[in-house]
A = this chain, B = another copy of it.
Amino acid sequence: MNAFEQLAQDIKTKNSVVCVGLDPMQATTADEIVSFNKHIIDATHDLVVAFKPQMAFYERFGATGWDAFKQTIDYIHSKGVLAIDDSKRGDIGSTSQAYAKAHFEELGADFITVNPYLGSDGVAPFLTYKDKGVFVLCRTSNPSAKELQDDIYMKVAQLINQWGSGAVVGATYPEEAKALRAAMPNSMWLVPGYGAQGGTAESVRPCFTAGGSGAIISSSRGIIYDKDPRAAAMKMRDELNAVRSHV
C-alpha cells in the first residue's frame, strides 16, 4: 500500500480528515521542539490522519534542527501516523533528485510538498518514489498568492492531473477550489490555512470529493498553541465531519 492509499484508508478508519501542522514557532531550541511535538502528537494522534512539520521552523536551529525534524518524523511513525514533510522543495531535475533522496530516504517522510515553478522535470524525481506521495503547490493560502498564481493555477492543476500527484489548495479560496476540483477530480488535496489563516469548514467544502474524502485539512497554530490541543483537534475533526458528510 503506498502513502496515498494508506492515507485514504486512515481517513475511513479514523473518520477524520484532520492534519496537524507542527510549526513550533515559539520554540527556542531544537530540544524544545522535540519535547513540544511529542506532547502534541501524544495528545492528538488518534484524532488525525497526518502530522505536517514545517521545515523552516526546524532549519532555524541548523543541524540540530534537522535532527529534531527527523526525530519528529520517527515519533509520528511510532504512533502509526503518516508524516508530511512541508518543505516546498523544487529545483532542476538533478537537484530535485537529491532533494527527493534527502527527504524521502534520509528523513523518511511519507509525503513532501513541492513547488512547481520549474515545471515537470523539477517535479519528476519526487514522483519516481512510488511508495511515497507528493503534494504540489497549486493555490496557496497566503494573501499574495494571487499575484502570480492567478495566471497559472489552472495550468498547474492540469499538470498535477497528468502527474497523478496530490495538490496543495488553500482553505481560503472556496470559488477557486470548485474550479480546481473539476480540473483535478481524483487528486488528494492537502488544504492548509484552516483556523488562524481564516479557513473554515464551510470554506473547504468544495475541496472534498463525493463521499467527503479526497482532501485533508491542516491547521497549525489553531491546534498546537491552543490551551487544549486535543479538544481543539476534536472540535476541528467534528466540524469538518459535519460538512463532509453532506458532500
Residues in chain A within 8 A of chain B (CB atoms): 23, 25, 54, 56-57, 59-67, 70, 88-96, 98-99, 101-103, 106-107, 115-122, 137, 140-149, 151-152, 155-156, 159, 197
Q: Can you name the residue of chain B whose Cβ is closest to the Cβ of A138? A: B117
| A116 and B117 contacting across the interface, CB-CB below 8 Å | yes
Bound together, the chains give a CA A107 to CA B56 distance in angstroms of 13
Return A60 CB to nearest CB of chain B, in Å. Answer: 5
Bound together, the chains give a CA A101 to CA B56 distance in angstroms of 9
Bound together, the chains give a CA A145 to CA B144 distance in angstroms of 22
| B95 and A23 contacting across the interface, CB-CB below 8 Å | yes
Bound together, the chains give a CA A115 to CA B96 distance in angstroms of 14
Return A108 CB to nearest CB of chain B, in Å. Answer: 10
Q: Which residues of B contact A197 (CB under 8 A)?
A: 92
Bound together, the chains give a CA A99 to CA B59 distance in angstroms of 7
| A119 and B102 contacting across the interface, CB-CB below 8 Å | no
| A99 and B56 contacting across the interface, CB-CB below 8 Å | yes
Bound together, the chains give a CA A216 to CA B22 distance in angstroms of 39
Q: Can you name the residue of chain B whose Cβ is closest to the Cβ of A144? A: B119
Return A116 CB to nearest CB of chain B, in Å. Answer: 6
| A151 and B152 contacting across the interface, CB-CB below 8 Å | yes
| A117 and B117 contacting across the interface, CB-CB below 8 Å | yes
Return A113 CB to nearest CB of chain B, in Å. Answer: 9
Of the candidates B65, B98, B144, the one whose C-beta lies within 8 Å of that of A121 is: B144
| B119 and A117 contacting across the interface, CB-CB below 8 Å | no
Q: Can you name the residue of chain B whose Cβ is closest to the Cβ of A98? A: B56
Q: Which residues of B contact A155 (CB under 8 A)?
A: 147-148, 151
| A59 and B106 contacting across the interface, CB-CB below 8 Å | yes
| A62 and B152 contacting across the interface, CB-CB below 8 Å | no
- Given A151-B151, A152-B151, check contact A56 B144 (CB 8 Å): no
- Given A119-B149, A152-B151, check contact A102 B144 (CB 8 Å): no
Return A58 CB to nearest CB of chain B, in Å. Answer: 8
